[in-house]
Amino acid sequence: MTQTSDLPRGGEFRGLVAAVTGGASGIGLATARELAARGAEVCVLDLNADAAPAGLHGFTCDVTDRASVQTAFAAIDQRFGRLDVLVNNAGIGAQGTVEDNDDAEWARVLDVNVTGMARAAAAALPLLRKGVAARAGDASATAAIVNTCSIAATAGLPQRALYSASKGAVLGLTRAMAADHIREGVRVNCVNPGTVDTPWVGRLLDAAADPAAERAALNARQPTGRLVSAEEVAAAVCYLAGPYAGATTGTDLAVDGGMQGLRLRPA
Ligand code: NAD
């Protein structure tokens, strides 16, 4: 049995290959950087692959297009011959109640947020199995998929019907995939971020009448008094993707400043 004292301290992804969808911005970008800092070769799969930082490998990919996803993973296979970590992170938002979003909007958001994750995972799994096989001498080695879910999956947020439905599906998908693939040595978990200070949230704030006041109000609603940073989510993703989480699969980890678990009275 592996002792945690035997595991590497830092650099735990050295010699491994990771792919991050939506890795050109926000949570995905912070995760791609953190995986690289800890030793991984990191492939950024994004509509906007040109925005991948120097030193990372950019692959243009639209997770709503099966051929585009398959082409990107085929290119990773050709380049590295394996994959050890998939971070399924590409996602888009939607606001409103069920009366506000039409069928086209439902189809578009579910296609990116849910089917997009299934497409990327299906294309990645043969490569993840190669990663597991390549480390056959290491009994504790597993490949990992980490899905970016959201507290919206279970929190009952107002004005987020479609988005919450999409993230609820990601939670179910995570648990089902964990059951399907653990015998192959592939762990599957998700992170549930709260409100994270990314370009996405920046765009929402900029659309408000008074962005500074809106940001102050958003900060005040957090138990911690501030938004979550993308780097804090990235650290949680690296934990779930890495060797310290070798016994963890089918679970979700909140990184939400206490939003979900705490019931604070207004100050
Ligand atoms: P972001 O908008 O900053 O980055 C999203 C990235 O995904 C962009 O680089 C974009 O080009 C890419 N992308 C979008 N559609 C794509 C597609 N079809 N194919 C490939 N790439 C695509 O967003 P973010 O805030 O970093 O959010 C990332 C993930 O985190 C999403 O899944 C989101 O639902 C989730 N999340 C965000 C927050 C938050 O508060 N920011 C909270 C909870 C969950």
For 106-138, write each residue's pLDDT tens digit: 999 999 999 999 999 999 999 999 999 999 878
Is residue 151 within 8 Å of 192, Cβ to Cβ? yes
Ligand 1 neighbourhood includes 252 CB (under 6 angstroms): no
Alpha carbon of 267 to ligand 1 centroid (Å):
32
Q: What residue type is 50 in one-letter code?
A: D
Contact in structure between 146 and 190 (CB atoms under 8 Å): yes
- Quick one: pLDDT band at residue 267, thresholds 50, 70, 90? low
Instruction: Retrieve residue 15's tokens.
Output: 């010699």
Q: Is the CB of 21 under 6 A from ligand 1?
A: yes
pLDDT for the residue numbered 228 = 97
Per-residue pLDDT band at 169 (split at 50, 70, 90) = very high
DSSP 8-state class, residue 189: E
CB 93 within 8 A of CB 193: no
φ/ψ of 197, rounded to 5, equals -80, 85
Model pLDDT, residue 263 = 72
User: What is the CB neighbour count within 10 angstroms for residue 179?
Assistant: 11
Helix (H, G, I), strand (E, B) or coil at 190: strand
ipTM of the complex: 0.99
What atom of ligand 1 comes closest to residue 26's alpha carbon? 26
Does ligand 1 have an atom closer than 6 angstroms to the CB of 174?
A: no
pLDDT tens for 82-107 read 999 999 999 999 999 999 999 999 99
Burial class (CB in 10 A: 0-12, 13-18, 19+), 108: middle
Computed over every residue of the chain, the mean pLDDT equals 94
DSSP for 206-217, written as a single string: HTSSSHHHHHHH
What pLDDT is stored for residue 217 in this prediction? 94
- If we measure between CA atoms, which residue out of 199, 191, 203, 195 comes closest to residue 219? 195
CB 177 within 8 A of CB 188: yes
Question: Based on C-alpha coordinates, what's the Rg of the chain?
Answer: 18
User: For 25-69, what is each residue's pLDDT tens digit?
Assistant: 999 999 999 999 999 999 999 999 999 999 999 999 999 999 999
193-208 as b/e: b if 16+ CB within 10 A: bbbbbbeebeeebeee
Q: Is 88 in the pocket of ligand 1 (CB under 6 A)?
A: no
- Indicate which atom in ligand 1 lies nearest the CA of residue 28: 26
Strands 57-60 and 17-21: unpaired
Amino acid 120: pLDDT:
98
